[in-house]
Amino acid sequence: MGFRRLWIAFAAVIVGSFAVLGYYGGEIYRQAPPIPDAVVSVSGESLFSGQDIRDGQNVWQSIGGQQLGSVWGHGAYVAPDWSADWLHRECLWLLERWARRDFQSPYEGLSDEQKAVLAARLKREMRTNTYDPASRTLKLSRDRASAVRAISNYYAALFGDAQEFPDEVAHLADGGKSPRELREAYAMPANTIRDHERMRKLNAFFFWASWACATERSSAASGEGLANGRKQSQVTYTNNWPAESLVGNAPSGPIVVWSVISFVLLLAGIGALAWHHAALPHDDHNDQSLPARDPLLALQPTPSMQATLKYFWVVIALLLVQIGLGAVTAHYGVEGEGVLRHPAGQVAALLGDAHLAHTTRHLLDRDGMAGDGPVHRACCVGSRAKGAGVGR
């Protein structure tokens, strides 16, 4: 009877859990940030198309993007989160532009009152949802369109092989570092993206990802902001992630409340299990059924058991080698370019095997999107190196 109740409780938990996951999974899909058919400025200039954004995601994937930073927090710990990075640099660029145009001074040279004026303008500029669902068009102000073009030039220099940033975005670099220094810090190879059109599409994807982080989702039921006659909520499409103070991104009330409820329920469940096993009588708690001493201490290995000893020593040795190689790989990943950066491409390069290089390139280029990936470049280096006298 007791086991029957446990099975009923277990089934109830499973059904309830999947019901919640199914409901909110559907809500996430329904309320996902829209991909506009066109991103234009108020003057009518076309910046990106919806297909540019989708192709930009493919470019990101083709260069092993999840191993080169992250987007919306999903990806590697090496290199920045590019959605958060774009958002922060776009904010800095706008503040600097407004400060020099309206107050004839760099932003850092403004008074607190002047900074407060620009901060309020920036928050309104970034959080107002200007997407029109009827025409599926996202309209940007002239200043923000200029910011998009400037940040695109910044990323083109970073993902290319530029030694210096363009003057208009040089102030955005962390600590005044050059593109080469930032690539080293981010463990990025030079010429990660070689083709201008592919870089433009990657910028489209990064812009859209950062736009969703700062723009408040439309809501017919709540919110105070108005855009095109539509009410807005007070949370962005990413629920105010990342925590960017320049646009007022901070955890919302529901996030805090449900986070507290979740770990309180978790602790309550653990406590209930502990109480169930400690307070209620169970047949397996009969101390007389337990052995007086550990049976393993009296174990006498058989010859077949002893014969497997070498196997376990080999497994332990391989495990230690794996741990060591993982540490070395992590070191080269954090410190920058190295021999172990792109294993498949480096093997082809070191062997100078033109056939292997050609085969790898063919596999990567089948979708027409991976031609500038890091493995592709290393393989191409390998095939050229063979002609230069690099032997097997």
Mean pLDDT of 249-277: 91
Between residues 386 and 101, the one the model is more confident about: 101
Kindly tell me the burial class for residue 308, based on how many C-beta atoms sit within 10 Å of its own C-beta (0-12, 13-18, 19 or more): exposed
pLDDT at 328: 85
Q: Which of 135-144, 317-326, 366-375 has the lowest mean pLDDT?
A: 366-375
Asked if residue 222 and residue 78 are part of one domain, the reply reads yes
pLDDT at 2: 59
Asked if residue 376 and residue 246 are part of one domain, the reply reads no
Residue 106 included in any domain: yes
Residue 119 included in any domain: yes
Asked if residue 329 and residue 225 are part of one domain, the reply reads no
Give the residue among 165, 153, 174, 169 at the shortest CA–CA distance from 96: 169
Q: How confident is the model at residue 299 (pLDDT cuts 50, 70, 90)?
A: confident
Residue 132 included in any domain: yes
* Size of the chain, expressed as the number of residues it contains: 392
Pick the last residue of a domain from 236, 256, 276: 256
Residue 1 included in any domain: no
Q: Cα–Cα–Cα angle for 255, 123, 51, nearest 5°?
A: 80
Total domains in the chain come to 2
Identity of the residue numbered 272: A
% of residues, the chain, pLDDT over 70: 78
- pLDDT > 70? residue 296: yes
pLDDT at 276: 80
Give the residue among 166, 135, 110 at the shortest CA–CA distance from 44: 135
Mean pLDDT of 318-344: 72
Residue 297 included in any domain: no
CA pair distance 288, 291, nearest whole angstrom? 8
Asked if residue 365 and residue 246 are part of one domain, the reply reads no
Task: Give the model confidence (pLDDT) of 47-65 as tens digits.
Answer: 999 999 999 999 999 988 8
pLDDT at 149: 96
Asked if residue 327 and residue 245 are part of one domain, the reply reads no
Q: Which of 84-93, 225-234, 291-300 has the lowest mean pLDDT?
A: 225-234
pLDDT at 334: 67
The string of DSSP letters for 62-75 reads HTTGGGSSEETTEE
The string of DSSP letters for 99-165 reads HHHHHSS-GGGS-HHHHHHHHHHHHHHHHS--EETTTTEEEE-HHHHHHHHHHHHHHHHHHTT-SS-
- pLDDT > 60? residue 358: no
Q: What mean pLDDT, rounded, does the chain reach? A: 82
CA pair distance 74, 63, nearest whole angstrom? 15
Asked if residue 209 and residue 78 are part of one domain, the reply reads yes
- pLDDT > 60? residue 146: yes
Instruction: Tell me if 205 sits within 8 A of 191, measured CB to CB.
Output: no
Pick the last residue of a domain from 215, 241, 256: 256
Asked if residue 336 and residue 249 are part of one domain, the reply reads no
- pLDDT > 90? residue 376: no
CA pair distance 70, 77, nearest whole angstrom? 7
Residue 17 included in any domain: no
Classify 381 as helix, strand or coil: helix
Pick the last residue of a domain from 214, 237, 256: 256
Mean pLDDT of 171-197: 90
pLDDT at 198: 96
pLDDT at 380: 37
Asked if residue 217 and residue 358 are part of one domain, the reply reads no
% of residues, the chain, pLDDT over 90: 57
Mean pLDDT of 159-169: 93
Q: Write down the pTM of the prediction.
A: 0.73
Residue 29, token pair as written in the block: 């899909």
- pLDDT > 50? residue 342: no
Peptide bond into 242 cis (omega under 30): yes
Mean pLDDT of 361-390: 38
Instruction: Tell me if 114 sits within 8 A of 159, measured CB to CB.
Output: no
Query: Could you give the strand order of the β-sheet that contains 216-218, starting from the edge strand earlier in sequence?
Result: 216-218, 230-236, 226-227
Asked if residue 239 and residue 142 are part of one domain, the reply reads yes
Identity of the residue numbered 161: D
Q: Which of 99-113, 256-270, 376-390 has the lowest mean pLDDT?
A: 376-390
Residue 269 included in any domain: no
149-164: burial string, b at 16+ Cβ within 10 Å, e else: ebbbbbbbbbbbebee
Mean pLDDT of 204-221: 86
Domain that holds residue 53: 32-256
Q: How confident is the model at residue 189 (pLDDT cuts 50, 70, 90)?
A: confident
The string of DSSP letters for 107-120 reads GGGS-HHHHHHHHH
Residue 345, token pair as written in the block: 């491409």
Q: How confident is the model at residue 115 (pLDDT cuts 50, 70, 90)?
A: very high
Residue 273 included in any domain: no
